[in-house]
Structure 1
Amino acid sequence: NLSSYNVDPSEISVSGLSSGAYSATQIQVAISASIKGAGIIAGGPCDCGAHMNYTSCMFTSSPSITQSISNTKLWSGNKIDDITNLAKHKVYMIRGTSDPLIGASVMTQLYKYYVTDGPFISSENVVFKNDLNAAHTFPTDFDSIGNNDCGSTSSPFISNCNFDGAGVILEHIYGPLKPRNNGALNGKFIEFNQREFLMNSSAYGMRDTAWIYVPKNCSDGVTCKLYITYHGCQQSHEKIGDKYIKNTGYNRWADTNKIIVLYPQTVPTNTIDSTDKELIPNVNGCWDWIG
């Protein structure tokens, strides 16, 4: 079970890979008053899959963002937080040049949604790293047992690409940080019950338990930041064990910078009982970014 931690509510941010990236964007926009920034790895425009076939938000498509922008403005202050909150957000976007699932045009449309066509966030606050020689994967700059090659779109979708994805995202959002801990971590991983926060979690495609990394000084009661990161499809614990939780590099930075890292978890299933009582297969344990 979780303890209580002293989290600064102005220092909460989100990130994700693939379906987790889409979800992070939607959460960032929906509760913008509570979010400081976002790290988007291989994701696309907010609300994209809700008004077109989701495949039009992937591959080499260039999905229209007209309806997404219109909906964002229409919902501002009623269905979602006031979108003027987005102006203060910091966003770091990453796409691999050999990613076969999220094409350059998809992420370019996300950039336009944020910066040029929305516009919701100034260009000074948004970085788009679109020249990384990588496939559909989470980029790190260190080797971990069981990780895939950087040029391969394959499980566990975490790779040594000689690029510290976790570090560049965290420093863009939070500013200069202390050097990361490349040795034994001083904090602890805690598996907690997600059902405390969502009754009948499996009916919503959520795993019964998830993980959180808590640096020692955060356990001791100092004021800490909160970073929430959503895994991608085929990256839940049932698919790759604790690799997304331990191999992305976030904990190394968190350990020395008073950042609590939350790792929510989906569960792969063939029979999700959604809110409209339809049975929707989700065999890859993706986050529902389609709506």
Structure 2
Amino acid sequence: MVTETPAKSTASAPLSVVVALSLATLIAWTHGGRAEVARLGAYNVDVSQISMSGLSSGAEMTVQFQVAYSSLLRGVGIIAGSPYACAEGQVTRAMRVCACFFSCASDQIDVAKLADITWKNAAKGEIDDPANLKRHRVWMLSGSQDQLVPQSKMDALASYYAGFVDPGQMAFKKDLAAGHGMPTKDYGNPCDTEIDPFINDCGYDAAGELLAWIHGDLKPPNPGALGGRFVQFDQSEFVKNPTDHSLAPDGWLYAPASCADGGRACKLHVALHGCNQFQSHSYWNFSFPFYHRFGRQYVDHAGFNAWADANDMIVLYPQATSAALLGNPLGCWDWWGYDDANYAVKKGRQMTAIKMMIDRISGAPGAH
């Protein structure tokens, strides 16, 4: 169960009052204001220390961003993902071959074919040279109880990486009895569950493990109150009319105090949420007020910020959102082409938006 403070019993309250309060809360959450939205700023970033991670559709986006922009990243953390271009532009393949969201097809993931697509995209100049992947630090986790992205799908990803990445640069954890979700040390549902908010209390700090693998020796996470600040920024700077392309109006960034004044070069980690983890998503829960807004749960509780606070690391949280007219009601990242046929290459709309955010933060030449 989500670690929220239990509400007092509503047994004595009329059902109509409970329902009315729940609906009022849902409406207020869904139509919240944007008074604190700011322009995403530039920081002093060590460009050799840029990394990315993702869960579920965030893992898929991380893999395709890593392959497309392999010259940019140091490494990645993948939780419940599949190989680059696995969907081949088809939603049915995405849902039933690369994952098992409705049912599993008998088709197996053709790793050799996907490796060939990678080299062909590189030959066309649509992605960076895949030879860059050899130096990447790659950390993977597949929960043994994950039924949505079973371990066979992550095994295919490991096989794909084996064709590009130095074996000594890869780590693959498969012995955690986790369902489909972000494993944390002490927040979320029971570890083996697969329900909203898809953050699971596994007594295991996945965020810390992946950051340590990618970036090397890190100081222990800050055990107390965070000393930095959260920035809610306008994503429309990076893609016009973002909600038309299943991107939320706003994203989030966490900047430790040590990175605020530009006096030292900081690391940058990009953390991508999964499906049904967009801010305005509301889900049923059997505790009052029944409907819960997902809100900032991934930003606040995925586990990255305390590590960032202690290790001069900025964390960028781009935000997708639901777009039913695009065939994306669950607010997944575009890893099958629902918005853009170029979704898996550098000129893909969501890919470009994230790259522009990174460029802005790191002060890359030409960023504005």
Instruction: Report the TM range for the smaller structure's normalisation.
Output: over 0.9
1:213 matched residue in structure 2: 254
Shift, 1:2, TM fit: 2.2
Q: Does the residue aligned with 1:80 lie in a helix, a strand or coil? A: coil
How far apart, CA to CA, are the structure 1 residues paired with 2:275 and 2:89? 21
Q: Which amino acid aligns with 1:98?
A: Q
Q: CA deviation at 1:281?
A: 2.0
Alignment of 1:136 with 2:190, yes or no, is no
Q: Where does the alignment leave 5 or more consecutive residues of structure 2 unmatched? A: 1-38, 282-293, 338-368
Displacement, 1:51? 5.5
Tell me the residue number matched to 1:94.
141
Per the TM alignment, residue 3 of structure 1 is displaced from its structure 2 partner at its CA by 2.3
The alpha carbon displacement at 1:159 in A equals 1.5
Q: Over aligned residues, Cα RMSD in angstroms?
A: 1.2
Q: Does 1:75 align with 2:117?
A: no
Corresponding residue for 1:224? Answer: 266
2:221 equivalent among 163, 173, 180: 180
Quote the offset at 1:134 in angstroms.
0.7
Distance in structure 2 (CA, Å) of the matches to 1:187 and 1:136: 30
Q: What is the deviation of 1:73?
A: 1.2
Q: Cα offset for 1:202?
A: 1.4
TM-score, normalization by structure 1: 0.92
Q: Distance in 2 between matches of 1:33 and 1:123?
A: 19
**Structure 2 residue corresponding to 1:112, chosen from 144, 159, 165:** 159
SS at match of 2:223: coil
Higher Cα radius of gyration: 2
Higher strand share: 1
Q: Which amino acid aligns with 1:235?
A: Q
Write the distance in 1 (CA, Å) between the matches of 2:207 and 2:47: 21
Cα deviation, residue 269, structure 1: 2.2
Cα distance in 2 for partners of 1:173, 1:257 equals 13
Instruction: Name the counterpart of 1:203.
Output: 244
Aligned length: 277
Distance 1:38 1:56 in 2: 23
1:281 lines up with 2:327 in the alignment = yes
Which residue of 253, 257, 260 maps to 2:307? 253
Cα distance in 2 for residues equivalent to 1:252 and 1:51: 37
Q: Distance in 2 between matches of 1:237 and 1:149?
A: 22
State the match for 2:53 in structure 1: 15
1:137-162 CA distance string (max 9 Å, x none)? 1011123xxx2221110111112101
Aligned to 1:64: 110
Alpha-carbon displacement from aligned partner over 1:106-164 (angstroms, at most 9, x marks no partner): 0000000001xxx1001111111011111001011123xxx222111011111210111
Query: Which residue number in structure 2 is paired with residue 170 of structure 1?
Result: 211
Structure 2 length as normaliser, TM-score? 0.73
Identity %: 42
Between the aligned partners of 1:74 and 1:266, the Cα distance in structure 2 is: 29
Letter in 2 for 1:265: Q
C-alpha distance in structure 2 between counterparts of 1:214 and 1:177, whole Å: 17
Alignment gaps of 5+ in structure 1? 272-279
